[in-house]
A and B are shown apart, each in its own frame.
Chain A
Amino acid sequence: MISIRATKRFTEQAGALSVFEDLQLDIPEGEFVCIVGRSGCGKSTLLRIIGGLETATAGGVTFGWSGGRTAQIGFVFQEPGLFPWRTVWDNVKLGLEIRGESRPSLARRVNDMLEIVGLRGFERYYPYQLSGGMAQRVAIARAFVIEPDLLLMDEPFAALDTHTRADMHVELLRVWQTFKKTVVFVTHNVDEAVFLADRVIVLAGRPASIRADVGIDLPRPRRRFGTDEIAHQEEIVKWLGAGSEPLPREA
C-alpha cells in the first residue's frame, strides 16, 4: 500500500502557487492506477513526489510493502530519456548497474526483458536508430528490468502516434500482467486511462483536488469503443469539467 498525504506549494518569484493542499490517496499493491487531469493540474508533480524526485511541502508518501522492504521504483517519462551513447542493451541495464547487480544476473535479466518487450536483435542499436515507439519500449524495459515494486509513468505515450500508442497499450498491459506490479500512470487522455487502469483518479482545480475516484471493473482485453468503456469515459470527462476553475488562484 502506498499512502499519500501531501501538500505542494511552489514559491516562485511570481508569487506562491499552491499545487495541492493535503491531497490524500491510497494505492493498494498490484493496482494499475491512472491519474487523469488537464495539463498543469499538478498530476506530474504528484507523480514526482511519489517517485522522490520532488519533496512535498508538507506531508509525504509512505510505502507499506508486504515484508517491510524498501521499494524499488521504476520511472518512465514522456520522452524516452535514453542515453544516446549507450546501446539498447546498455540502456536497459541502467537501473541494475546503479544498484550494483552482479554481471551474470544482470545479463540474464536484461536479455529476458528484451525478449519480453520484443527487442531481441536490437541490442546493439543506438537510440538514434530507433523509432519513437521502439525507444519508448526500451524505456519501459529499463523500468521493468529492475523488477520495481512500483512503476511510475508520466504520460509515456503522449509523443507517439495513435497506432503506435494503441500497440504500446497492449504491450504495457502484457508486461504488467506478467509482473503484476503497482503502476501509477499519469495521462490527460481519458480513453487511454479507461483502456488501461483498474482505477482512474480525476484531478482538477487549483489547488488540485481529487474530483472522482472511478473504478474500472471491466474485463481485459478491453475494447476501445465498447459501450461500457465509453460510459466510463463520459463519466470521467464530466468530472474533469466539473468545478474546474479557469483561472489560477494565488494562495
Chain B
Amino acid sequence: MLALNVAVLAAAWLVWDFTARAAHSSFFPAPASVGRAFREILSAGDIQGYQLWSHIGASLFRVLVGFAAAAVTGVALGMLLGLKRGVYDATKSILEPMRFIPPIAWIPLAIVLLRGFSRYAFIIWIGAFFPILVGTMAGIQRVSPLLVEVSKAFGARRPFIVLRVVTPGALPEIVAGMRIGLGVGWMCIVAAEMIGGDEVGLGRLMMNYADLLRVDMVIVGMITIGMIGYGTNELVLLLEQRLFAWRRAVKV
C-alpha cells in the first residue's frame, strides 16, 4: 500500500508539473518552485523573520484551545440534548439552522463582538462545536435500549445508567465527533487568522504572501495545513482503535 501511495504521489507530481508548464504563469508555480519556497522558509524564515515552526505552533495552540472549548461544551450540551429529548425538541428551531451556518460567516460578528485571542478561539469553536454536539447526540441515541433494560433489571439507578451505560456506549461516536470537529476546527484556522491581529500563524503567513502574489509560498502553507490535519486525524484514529477494540470492525 505504501508503494502504491508513493506511485500515486509521483503521478500527481507529474500531472502538476505538466499543468504548471502548460499554464506558463508565474501565478501557477511548478512543484520545484514550491519546494524552493519550502527550503526558503525553513532556512531563512518568512519576510518578517518568523520561522515556519512558530507559525505552526501558533496555529496549533489556537486550534487546540478552540477545540478544547468545543469538546467541553459540545459533549455537555450533546449529553443534555441526547438524554432529554424534550429539550432538543424545544430548541431544535435554533440549533439546527445554526449548525449550517459556515464558520466563515461568523467573521463579521466576531470582529464586532470579540477582541484578541478570543476571536481565533471563537471561529474555531464554532467549527468544531457542531460535529461534537451531533456526534454526542447520535452516540446517545445509538446506545442499545436492551443494555439500559438489563441494568434496570439488575436494580441500577439513573446515575449508574448515565455514567456506566449511556456514556461508554456513546463514547465511540463522541470521539468520532471530536475527530471530525478537530478537523473542521483546523480547517477554520485560515479564516480565524484573517481577523486576528497577530503576525504569526499559518493562515496569516498565507495571507501575507498572497498579498505579495507569492503563490508558491501560499501553496507551502496549504501543504503544511493539509499534512498536519492528516497527521492529527491519523493519531486520533489510532487512539480510537485502541480505545474501542471491543467494537467489531465493520468490513463491507
Identify the A interface with B (CB < 8 A). Answer: 51-53, 73-75, 77, 79, 81, 83-86, 94-95, 98-99, 126-128, 142, 146, 152
The contact string, 1 if C-beta is below 8 Å from chain A, for chain B 136-169, is: 0000000010110111111110001000010011
Complex CA gap A223/B147 in Å reads 36
Q: Which A residues are CB-close (under 8 A) to B153?
A: 51-53, 73, 75, 152
Q: Is the CB of A94 within 8 A of B247?
A: no
Q: Is the CB of A84 within 8 A of B246?
A: yes
Identify the B interface with A (CB < 8 A). Answer: 144, 146-147, 149-156, 160, 165, 168-169, 171, 244-248
Complex CA gap A128/B250 in Å reads 12
Give the Cβ gap from B49 to chain A, nearest Cβ, in Å: 51
Complex CA gap A86/B150 in Å reads 14
Given contact pairs A75-B154, A85-B168, A98-B160, A128 touches B149 in the complex (Cβ within 8 A): no
Give the Cβ gap from A243 to chain B, nearest Cβ, in Å: 33
Q: Is the CB of A146 within 8 A of B154?
A: yes
Give the Cβ gap from B241 to chain A, nearest Cβ, in Å: 14
Q: Is the CB of A126 within 8 A of B245?
A: yes
Q: Which B residues are CB-close (under 8 A) to A99?
A: 154-155
Q: Closest chain B residue to A84 by CB distance?
A: B246
Give the Cβ gap from B229 to chain A, nearest Cβ, in Å: 29
Q: Is the CB of B168 within 8 A of A81?
A: no
Complex CA gap A95/B160 in Å reads 12
Complex CA gap A98/B154 in Å reads 7
Give the Cβ gap from A96 to chain B, nearest Cβ, in Å: 9
Q: Is the CB of A77 within 8 A of B168?
A: no
The 3 closest A-B pairs by CB, nearest first: A75-B153, A128-B248, A95-B154
Most buried by B among A53, A85, A126: A85
Complex CA gap A77/B147 in Å reads 11
Q: Is the CB of A84 within 8 A of B247?
A: yes
Q: Is the CB of B246 within 8 A of A81?
A: no
Q: Which B residues are CB-close (under 8 A) to A74?
A: 154
Q: Which B residues are CB-close (under 8 A) to A146?
A: 154
Q: Which A residues are CB-close (under 8 A) to B147?
A: 81, 83
Q: Closest chain A residue to B154 by CB distance?
A: A95
Q: Is the CB of A81 within 8 A of B248?
A: no
Given contact pairs A85-B246, A128-B248, A53 touches B156 in the complex (Cβ within 8 A): no
Contact of B146 among A79, A85, A152 (CB under 8 A): A79
Q: Which B residues are CB-close (under 8 A) to A53?
A: 149, 152-153
Q: Is the CB of B169 within 8 A of A85?
A: yes
Q: Is the CB of B245 within 8 A of A94?
A: no
Contacts A85-B168, A98-B160 supplied; 10 other A-B pairs, CB < 8 Å = A77-B149, A85-B244, A94-B151, A95-B154, A95-B155, A98-B151, A99-B155, A126-B245, A142-B154, A146-B154
Give the Cβ gap from A206 to chain B, nearest Cβ, in Å: 25
Q: Which A residues are CB-close (under 8 A) to B152?
A: 53
Give the Cβ gap from A180 to chain B, nearest Cβ, in Å: 21
Can you list 19 contacts pairing A with B, beta carbon distance less than 8 Å?
A51-B153, A52-B153, A53-B149, A53-B152, A73-B155, A74-B154, A75-B150, A77-B146, A77-B150, A79-B146, A81-B146, A83-B165, A94-B151, A98-B151, A98-B154, A98-B155, A98-B160, A127-B246, A128-B247
Give the Cβ gap from A116 to chain B, nearest Cβ, in Å: 19
Q: Which B residues are CB-close (under 8 A) to A95?
A: 154-155
Give the Cβ gap from A75 to chain B, nearest Cβ, in Å: 4
Q: Which B residues are CB-close (under 8 A) to A73?
A: 153, 155
Most buried by A among B146, B153, B165, B244: B153
Complex CA gap A96/B120 in Å reads 49
